[in-house]
Structure 1
Amino acid sequence: MNIDITEFTANCLKLIDEVANTHQRLVINRGGKPLVEVVPIVDETPKSLFGYMKGTVTIHGDIVAPSGEVWSAESGDEDHFYADLQPHGNDK
């Protein structure tokens, strides 16, 4: 919506309420040239944190089945890092 500055001055509170309710921008003109724009504030925060990321994740493949990757804890590749450590309870 476009409006002249003199009309905006006379009806500013009503026009601001209209922008807030309709969510349409308002362009204020002076001498036929756009001067400023009044836009509604859009609340981007979700009303609840529950489910606010719904639809943002895509699962590819089976996420439950084992991947077949051998971990170093199973293969013993990193045992030399722990060779000097003593088990708890043996503080003699």
Structure 2
Amino acid sequence: MRTVDKNQLKDKLLEFLQLVELEGEEILVTDGNKPVVKISQYESSPSTPELFKNMRGKVKYFEDLTTPTTEEWQEV
């Protein structure tokens, strides 16, 4: 990860954005020694069906959660 002061970023913003876009480099922008912003490539989030595809068919759904089930609890 490259660290850049905000004044440097202001002068060479397009150059740094191209570095992020083309090479995947992350840039940490600082104000003095204080980190302010991290610039990285945009990553799209998976859709809900993609995210939960492995759970399909494995979840039990009950109409009324207060209704007793036939399953008994084991005593410990």
TM range (shorter): 0.5 to 0.7
CA offsets per residue over residues 53-74 of structure 1, 9 Å max, x none? xxxx9xxxxxxxxxxxxxxxxx
* Percent identity of paired positions between Structure 1 and Structure 2: 15
Equivalent pairs counted in the alignment come to: 48
Cross-structure match for 2:71: none
* TM-score, normalised via structure 1 length: 0.45
In structure 1, runs of 5+ residues without a counterpart are 46-56, 58-92
Superposed CA RMSD: 2.0
* TM-score, normalised relative to structure 2: 0.53
C-alpha distance in 2, partners of 1:20/1:44? 18
Point out which structure has higher relative CO (alpha carbons under 8 A, 6+ apart). 2
Q: Does residue 23 of the first structure (1) align with residue 24 of the second (2)?
A: yes
Which consecutive unaligned segments of at least 5 residues does structure 2 have? 47-53, 55-76
State the match for 1:14 in structure 2: 15
